[in-house]
A and B are shown apart, each in its own frame.
Chain A
Amino acid sequence: MSCGVLAIAEQVNGVFRKVTYEALSEGRRIADGLGCALSVAVIGSGIKSNSESLGKYGADRILVADDAVLEEYMTDAYTNVVAGIVTKEKPCVIILGASSRGRDLAARLSARLDSPLAMDCVAVRVDAGNVVVTRPMYGGKILAEIMFEGEPRIIAVRPNSMRIAESQKAGAVEIIAPDKGRTDLKFIEKKLDTGKVELTEADVVVSGGRGMGGPDYSVIEKLAGIFGGAVGASRSAVDEGWRPHSDQVGQTGKVVSPNLYIACGISGAIQHLAGMSSSKVIVAINKDSEAPIFAKADYGIAGDLFEVVPLITEEIKKIKGI
């Protein structure tokens, strides 16, 4: 059966998000499983030269919709463009990153195409021509295996879940005329802290909870900083106003799956555990040796975080030679 996998790249100011490479690599594996080709759609303005690099991650074809009005992601224009590509290319699978923009696009597209959607997938397998995905529900308390009825199947992959694999393919760039259609949304401005490492994409996350006792997170920031990692917070720290909402890890915040998660002064409420228990290695530092977090941590230190964390930072600096 002929088919085709369409990945959708996400770029901001011409730079692709890490989750784009993850989606593309997973898209390649699906295409190989189904015995079909992988195309990637790149939408934006002035993005042609950057797009060429995507062949390295397994794209057979790179479809570039380059137009000044597509410079900023707007739900309606981007949905129109992708729907136009889908009509022409008839993919059986669409794969993209479950970022803020990716989720927004996936949901609108699913309704536009009347197509099945699985959000935040953490695993995909191809089984005798069927695509089966695994996705968390109930904030990660349960993992569901999902099959799709109808095509194209839209798969939004959770950041930091899919392995990036380089496999050079033709990566032939084709400039396409985007079907922009009717639009209502108007871009006004963006305020982005581009220096900040995104929590959901970070390899290392250091979080502080109630035990921080106040808004001074400098010990946490220093430890996260030497890894190039991100700072997270528990719900109680966010509710106290010590950290912004965007830093909250947990069932009603962000779900993170870094290589290393260091929980400082966090007791380990079920909602918080749901947001970080898929991390590869978990370290907990807490004064209370009975804190529930220790039951989920690979390594625990019962002690004062303000004393222990700076010492850890110094030890790691020695190993890294910085």
Chain B
Amino acid sequence: MEVIVLLKQVPSTESFVGISENGLSVKTGDVKWVMNPYDEFAVEEALRVKEAHGGSGSVTILSVGTEKAVEAIRTALAMGADKGILINDPAAHNCDGLQTAKILAAVLKNMPFDLIVAGQRAVDGDNYAVGSAVAEFLNIPAVTMVMKEVIADGRITCNRTVEGGIVVVEAPLPALITTQRGLNEPRYASLPGIMKAKKKPLEIKSLKDIGLDTAGIGAPKTKIISLKYPPERKGGKMIAGEAAADKAIALVKALHEEAKVV
């Protein structure tokens, strides 16, 4: 079983994300960078698929990013993935979702794979787009927001999360799935795993190396014209009162008469 994980390095969710002076990009200087949380589920699921099929084949981590993204790929290798590929090219650093998907698809077109696992979204852009777009460019089926998957007889059966429950969908391999929280419990990298990861193959390629040029990925189709912080919420009033009942009455009165939401 050849399994590919699409991985992105993102600011950690506990990071404060600041807006640059130009108002069009975010400050990344002080940010702590981590593997996208939904990609942790993707790495774990890829490893489980490989293990469930006798451990043959390999798990390859594929990422588009800067030199720094090597850290996130090494983390995945320390968890147990076999090799990594990073597309690092100045022309690829400010791509939108479609451009990123075109780059990933260009690499994947020249690789054998049975299954591609991606995070449902990266928690920076929150676009939910790259996985589905890669599948479209490769002309393979995709099942998004997967909570559970089983592979048998060249087909994958997935529990896909929808509002109010799940839908069970089956697709022929090769296919792409995106992860939903609850799919698995990602393992931690062990100390021996971290030592081994240092020796695992990690290729860094430019767009030219994968047969693409800037024309091949096109221009960005979405343009940020401004970034701002959401309106600051002011701490409101603490409801005073002696007994709990007094507070409850005062709160409901305020919700009814002042906020008018009850």
- Which residues of A are in contact with B by a Cβ distance under 8 Å? 17, 72-76, 99-101, 103-104, 106-108, 110-112, 114-120, 132, 135-150, 184-194, 196, 198, 200-201, 204, 238, 244-246, 248, 251-253, 259-260, 269-271, 274, 277-278, 280-283, 289, 294-304, 307-308, 311-312, 314-316, 319-320
Q: From B105, which residue of chain A is reached at the shortest CB distance?
A: A111
Using an 8 Å CB-CB cutoff, how does the interface string of B5-19 with A read, 1 for contact, 0 for none?
000000101101101
Q: Are B222 and A137 in contact (CB under 8 A)?
A: no
Q: In the assembly, what is the distance between CA of A307 and CA of B246, in Å?
A: 12
Kindly provide the distance from the CB of B19 to the nearest chain A CB, expressed in whole angstroms: 7
Chain B, interface size category, equals 35 or more
Are B128's CB and A260's CB within 8 A?
no
B227 touches A184 (CB 8 A): no
Residues of B contacting A107 with CB < 8 Å?
97, 127-129, 131-133, 144
Q: Mark B135-177, 1 if CB is under 8 A from A, else 0.
A: 1110011111101000000000100111111111111100100
What's the Cα separation between A45 and B225 when bound, in Å? 41
B26 A138 Cβ-Cβ under 8 A: yes
Q: In the complex the two chains form, is A252's CB within 8 Å of B141's CB?
A: no
**Number of cross-chain contacts by CB at 8 Å:** 272
- The interface of chain B, by Cβ under 8 A from chain A, is 11, 13-14, 16-17, 19, 26, 37-38, 96-98, 101, 123-129, 131-133, 135-137, 140-145, 147, 157, 160-172, 175, 180-182, 218-230, 233, 235-239, 244-245, 247-249, 251-252, 254-256, 259, 261-262
**B223 touches which one: A104, A149, A198 (CB < 8 A)?**
A149
B238 touches A193 (CB 8 A): no
Closest A residue to B183 by beta carbon equals: A245
Chain A interface, >50% SS class: mixed
Q: Please, which residues of chain A bring their CB within 8 A of the CB of B147?
A: 245
Q: CB-CB < 8 A to A117: which residues of B?
A: 97-98, 127, 129, 221-222
Contact B237 A188 (CB under 8 A): no
Q: Which 5 A-B pairs have the closest CB atoms?
A: A116-B221, A107-B132, A311-B248, A111-B136, A111-B133
B239–A200 contact, CB under 8 A? no
Nearest CB to that of B245 among chain A residues?
A311
For residue A154, give the distance in angstroms from its CB to the closest CB of chain B. Answer: 10
**Contacts A110-B129, A297-B235, A300-B239 known; A252 to B167 CB distance under 8 Å?**
no
Tell me which of A143, A194, A248, A295 contacts B230 (CB under 8 A). A143
User: For residue A253, which residue of chain B has the nearest CB?
Assistant: B181
List of B residues within 8 angstroms of A252 by Cβ: 13, 37-38, 123, 181
The minimal Cβ–Cβ distance linking B256 to chain A, given in whole angstroms, is: 6
Q: Closest CB-CB distance, A86 to chain B, in whole Å?
A: 14
Q: Would you call A147 and B223 a contact (CB within 8 A)? A: yes
B228 nearest CB neighbor, chain A only: A143
List the B side residues contacting A244 at CB < 8 Å.
182
Nearest CB in chain A to that of B131: its residue: A107
Indicate which residue in B97, B137, B142 contacts A75 across the interface (CB closer than 8 Å). B142
Q: 19 A-B residue contacts at CB 8 Å? A: A17-B163, A75-B144, A115-B221, A117-B222, A119-B127, A137-B227, A139-B123, A144-B227, A145-B226, A185-B141, A185-B143, A185-B171, A189-B168, A190-B162, A191-B167, A196-B164, A252-B181, A277-B233, A281-B261
How far apart sit A252 and B125, CA to CA, in the bound complex (Å)? 13
Contact B165 A193 (CB under 8 A): yes
Write out the residue numbers on chain B whose beta carbons fall within 8 Å of the beta carbon of A188.
Answer: 157, 168-170
What's the Cα separation between A292 and B236 when bound, in Å? Answer: 12
A116 to B223: give the CA distance in the assembly, Å. 10
Q: By CB atoms of chain B within 10 A, which of A111, A190, A296, A303 has the most?
A: A111
Candidate in A107, A143, A190, A193 with the most chain B CB atoms within 10 angstroms: A107
